[in-house]
Amino acid sequence: MLAAAQDGSEAAFTRLWLDANPALVRYLRVIAPGSAEDVASDTWVQVVRGLRRFSGDEAAWRAWLFTTARRRVIDASRRRSRRREEPLHDAPPEVMPVTADAADEALERLGTQSAIALLSELPRLQAEVILLRVVAGLDTNAVARLLGRNPGAVRVAGHRGLRRLAQILSQAGVTL
Amino acid sequence: MTGGGVSGSDMPSFPWTARQDASSPEDTSLAALLAGRGLPADAGAELRPVADVLASLTARPGSGELAGLTAAQAEFRRRVAVSAQVRRSRDRRPAGLVSRLGVKVSAVAAVVVMGFGGAAAAAYANALPASWQQFAHRTIGAPASGPGREARATTGAARPAAHPSSSNPAPAGRSGGSLARYGPAHHTRPALHAKPPATRPFVVRGRPAAPGPGRWKPLSLGTLRWPVQPEQTGPDTGMSNAGSIRGVS
């Protein structure tokens, strides 16, 4: 599929996109809330530009896709910090958006959005490890390379994240 | 280590177990969850909601997650599909010899070919040093270096036209050479010749031909008779074996 897309097959590229974009958007909704779709679009532009030069299998291609997305997020946050935007938490409480507690929402419906909201409660590294392992389907070594950590740290972060998730769900009274 | 009477608080209590490196059943369950293998049967009940959350993360995509497909396809058409089309049409075009071999290899080949060609031309023009000329004589049938060379050098401009109607006098010693067939000597050969002229000393390499009817005797360089007088042209008088080069003696 990847080779066909590199050779110019739009059908193959569409298949790749349909396979990868939902996972990409879910990952970005956790690490770049509010701009996930925009960053995903920028990521695909970057990926399409480099598609012909890419060499590797489809697992490596997914790792490259998520690495590109993560770099776009970092670039976007740097741009925002240069623009010195007013942080949201500095706004007065009356203008803060009112959101339901993630655990309560999970009680009502364990849908994808609720799961993403639950993962957003975790520390950034733990959430990223869980998303990259479970959603992107990358192995520990690939995640370690992507995050610039060693595989042991990635493994520990993933386990801690899942334990923390179980704790949140337990406190919310979700037992099956 | 500690004797009797020591209080219990003096004995340190280590918070870790003896087999800290061994993975617990919980770790195995967590690793299975992260690898997408699902929850093992012996996993604790507290991990089941976690497994459901992870399953929700990999659920079928909603419509909002497929919104950017059109833009991505347009970018793909602009960046990849068009260039792939151009590449395919370029691949279908037959590549030239130079592009296949590469510019450097082609340049070297051209230099070699020109060098050999020039050397061969010089050999047939009898312009090489004596030892080289002998080598060329043995290998490609070029004129042998010898008296004829000096003789031709001395005759040079004083040589009269070979044929009354010809404006291109042939150089001596080239009339029978293989390259001479395509040169001016071809035109200077008398038209009445029914058989090859006798002045072909360069084609008798090691093959002595017995003189006889219909055969012509191979000549040595010293027996060239050139140019042929108009009255000498003819089947039998065109090239006599006797005599010497006009103008030399």
- For residue range B4-41, list pLDDT tens digits in order: 565 655 655 555 554 555 567 778 889 999 998 888 88
Buried b (16+ CB within 10 A) or exposed e, B86-99: eeeeeeeeeeeeee
- pLDDT value, residue B156: 47
Model pLDDT, residue A112: 87
Residues 116-145 of B with CB under 8 A from A: none
Q: Phi and psi dihedrals of B215, rounded to 5?
A: -105, 155
Whether the CB of B49 is below 8 Å from some CB of chain A: the reply is yes
| C-alpha distance from A11 to closest chain B C-alpha (Å) | 9
Residue B229 or residue A118, greater confidence: A118
Interface residue A112 vs chain B (CB under 8 A): yes
In this prediction, residue A50 carries a pLDDT of 92
Is the Cβ–Cβ distance between B57 and A26 less than 8 Å? yes
And the tokens for B219? 């000549």
- Per-residue model confidence (pLDDT) at position A100: 54
Strand partners, B215: B212
Q: Do residues A43 and A65 make contact, with C-beta atoms less than 8 angstroms apart?
A: yes
Cβ distance A110 to B57 less than 8 Å, yes or no, reads no
Q: In this predicted model, what pLDDT tens digit does every residue of A104-141 receive, in sequence order?
A: 544 444 588 889 999 999 999 999 999 999 999 999 99
Kindly report, residue by residue over A135-164, the tens digit of the pLDDT: 999 999 999 999 999 999 999 999 999 999
**Chain A contact for B80, CB < 8 A?**
yes
pTM attached to this predicted model: 0.53
A25 touches chain B (CB under 8 A): yes
| A14 contacts chain B (CB < 8 A) | yes
Tell me whether A159 touches chain B (CB under 8 Å): yes
A125 part of contact set with chain B, CB < 8 Å: no
The whole-number pLDDT of residue A150 equals 96
State residue B135 phi and psi, 5-degree precision.
-60, -45
The verdict on a CB contact (< 8 Å) between B68 and A37 is yes
- For chain A, what is the mean pLDDT? 85
Q: Which residues of A touch B35 (CB under 8 A)?
A: 133, 139
pLDDT mean over B240-244: 42
Mean pLDDT of all residues in chain B? 65
Domains of chain A, by residue range, sit at 1-95, 99-176
Q: How far is CA B174 from CA A28, B119, B141, in A?
A: 87, 16, 11
- A65 to chain B nearest CA, in Å? 14
User: For position B84, what pLDDT does the model report?
Assistant: 67
Give the per-residue pLDDT at B116. Answer: 83
Least confident among A30-34, B26-30, B241-245: B241-245
- Provide, as residue numbers in chain A, all residues whose Cβ is less than 8 Å from the Cβ of B66: 18, 21-22
Interchain CB distance below 8 Å, B47 and A158 = no
CA distance to A97, A104, B13, B25, per residue, from B39 (Å): 36, 24, 35, 11
Lowest mean pLDDT among A5-9, A96-100, A118-122: A96-100
- The domain defined by A1-95 folds into Rna Polymerase Sigma Factor; Chain: A (1.10.1740)
Q: Cβ of A17 under 8 Å from any chain B Cβ?
A: yes
Higher pLDDT, A36 or B119: A36
Convert the pLDDT of each residue in B73-126 to its tens digit: 999 998 887 776 676 666 666 555 556 667 788 788 888 888 888 888 888 888
Q: Quick one: residue A84, left, alpha or beta (phi over 0 = left, psi -120 to 50 = alpha)?
A: left
Identify which of A22, A1, A48 has the alpha carbon closest to the alpha carbon of residue B74.
A48
Residue B92, CB half-sphere, CA atoms under 13 Å: how many?
5
Of A7, A131, A175, the CB nearest to B49: A175
Smallest Cα distance from B42 to chain A, Å: 15
Contact A164, A126 (CB under 8 A): yes
With a cut of 70, say whether residue B165 has pLDDT above it.
no
End-to-end CA distance of chain A: 40
Reported as half-sphere exposure (CB side, CA atoms, 13 A), residue B61 has a value of: 19
Backbone angles phi, psi at A173, to 5 degrees: 85, 20
> What integer pLDDT is reported at residue B138 of this predicted model?
82
Residue A50 touches chain B, beta carbons under 8 Å? no
Under the banding of pLDDT at 50, 70 and 90, the label for residue B233 is very low
| Residue A116 Cα, gap to closest chain B Cα (Å) | 7
- Whether residues A22 and B61 touch (CB distance < 8 A) is answered with yes
B227, B184 Cβ separation under 8 angstroms: no
For residue B129, the model assigns a pLDDT of 83
Specify the pLDDT at position B13: 59
Q: Which of B228, B224, B236, B232 is nearest to B166 (CA)?
A: B228
Find the DSSP H helices in B94-164.
Answer: 97-101, 103-124, 130-140, 147-155
**Model confidence pLDDT, tens digit, residues B123-160:** 888 888 888 888 888 888 888 776 555 555 555 444 44
Report whether CATH 1.10.510.10 matches the domain A99-176. no
Domain regions of chain B by residue span: 161-207+216-249
Tell me, what's the pLDDT at B98? 55
Band of the pLDDT at A88, cuts 50, 70, 90? very low
Contacts with B91 from chain A: Cβ below 8 Å: none
